[in-house]
Structure 1
Amino acid sequence: MRLMLREFGFRTGPHEHRVVQPRQPLRHTSLRAPDPIGTLLGDHDGLSRLAGLFSFAACSPHTIVHLPLRDGVPPDEGAGDLVDLVLAHHTLGLRPSRWPALRRRLRAGIPLTARTDEARTARDAAAWRARRDRADFREGLRHATHARTLFLFGGRGVFAETAGHFAHAAGHGPRHKGVAKGHTAFMTSLPELAEPPGGGHPVEVLICFKPYPPYAHFRRPGAPASRPRRPAAAL
């Protein structure tokens, strides 16, 4: 996939930071913070681009990927706080409390075009799944919500696996019955979210497909396009 991004590079004290954002917002994609269940709602374009961005994050351990999802069109359903999304490798040591100061530095980015390698992403995801049943497995997604932002911290394997989840949702979501009428289709959820200490309800982020209105313009794959009827010939 070809990703059109905006890149920011700056220094804070001894630390260098590289942040990328989508050049164009994901207009019809939204995220509600997990408390303990959150919802990511997106159309085909948004879910496809999320698959590409997670694939990019998997192969970019020194880059913070910032998705300002609150800039999109507010969804017409759901409850809970709308939040942005940040992806970062756990090795970066990014602290959510430091993010507001970093976010204020995102002013003058430069255009960046990147291409994802779907075959490599699939291999990384398969290797991650092969390790998941081991007793010492510790490669899930750590998460935190701070400053109207959901942070996901992980490594190459789990980001690659998540890219596959979004690709599945983008490809199969439009085929669900009811979506042409504006109904939401639950597709999958973010994999292996770390559980909070002390038990309680498992934390989940549901990934759902929903086309944007007007729904009369939406066509399920394979459905014939409607054509206006020709006016009857005058006698």
Structure 2
Amino acid sequence: MRLRLRRFRPRTGPHEHRVVQPLHPLRHASLRDPDPIGHLLADHDGLNRLAGLFSFAAYSRHTVVHIPLRDGVPPDEGMGELVDLVLVHHSYGLRPSQWPGLRRRLTHGTPLTVRTDEARTARDAAAWQARAHRADRRDELRHTTHARTFFLFGSRDVFAEAADSFAYAAGNGPLHKRVQQGDLALVSAIPGLRQPPGGGHPFEVLICFKPYPPYAHFKRPGR
């Protein structure tokens, strides 16, 4: 996939960071803060681009991927605060408390075009799936919300598996019944989220397809 991004080089003290954002906003995508269940709603374009952004994050351990989602078209469904999304490798060392200062410095970006490798992403996603049910598995997505931003910290394989989940949603969401009337379709979920100790309701981010209005523009594939 070809991704058009904007790259920033903000500094905090002696450290220079590399932050990228989509060049054009995901206008019809939104994320509600998981507490403990969050909903990520997007149209086909949004889900497809999110798949690419997660794939890019999987192989960019020295880059912070910032996906602004609060400024798009407000969703007419769901509850909870709308939040942005940040993807970063666990080895990067970014602290969520640093983010507001970094975000204020994202002012002079330069265009960047990258390509993702879907075959490599699928191989690494399969490697994560092969380990997913092992008792000693440690490859999880750590998460927290700070400054109206939902952070995901992970490794190559778990980000690749998440990319696969978004690609699946982009391909299969439009096939669900009643989406042409504007109903959302629950298609998949972000995998590998770390669960809180002590049980209780599992922490989830559900991935949903929803076309944008007016719904007459949308036709289910094959119709």
- TM-score over 0.5 (shorter chain): yes
For residues 28-47 of structure 1, the aligned pairs below 5 Å read 28-47=28-47
- Describe the superposition over 1:49-76 as per-residue Cα deviations: whole angstroms up to 9, x where unpaired: 0000000000100000000101110001
Structure 1 runs (4+) deviating above 6 angstroms are none
* TM-score (norm: length of structure 2): 0.98
* Residue identity opposite 1:14 in structure 2: P
2:199 maps to: 199
How far does residue 77 in structure 1 lie from its aligned partner after superposition?
1.1
Query: Where do 1:137-176 residues align within 5 Å?
Result: 137-176=137-176
Distance 1:133 1:199 in 2: 17
- Give 1:10 deviation, angstroms: 2.5
Query: Aligned equivalents of 1:118 and 1:99: distance in 2?
Result: 30
Corresponding pairs, count = 223
Q: For residue 58 of structure 1, what is the aligned residue in structure 2?
A: 58
Contact 2:10 / 2:102 at 8 angstroms: preserved in 1? no
The Cα of 1:202 is off from its aligned counterpart by 1.0
User: Match of 1:90?
Assistant: 90
The CA distance in 1 between the partners of 2:79 and 2:10, in whole Å, is 36
Is the deviation greater in 145-154 or in 11-20?
11-20
Aligned to 1:183: 183
Look at both structures and tell me which one has the larger radius of gyration over its CA atoms.
Answer: 1
CA-atom RMSD, angstroms? 0.9
Q: Percent identity?
A: 74
CA distance in 2, matches of 1:178, 1:159: 31
What SS is found at the alignment partner of 2:205? strand
Instruction: After TM superposition, give the deviation of residue 48 of structure 1 in Å.
Output: 0.1
Q: Deviation string for 1:23-64 (max 9, x for gaps)?
A: 000000000010010000000000000000000000100000
Gaps of 5+ in 2: none
Comparing 197-206 with 81-90, which one deviates more in the overlay? 197-206
TM superposition shift of 1:131: 2.0
- Partners of 1:171 and 1:130 lie apart in 2 by 23
Name the CA distance, whole Å, in 2 between partners of 1:94 and 1:184.
34
Q: Which runs of 5+ in 1 are unaligned?
A: 224-235
TM-score (ref. length: structure 1):
0.93
Structure 1 residue 192 displacement after superposition: 1.5
Other structure's SS at 2:91 match: helix
Between the aligned partners of 2:44 and 2:169, the Cα distance in structure 1 is: 8
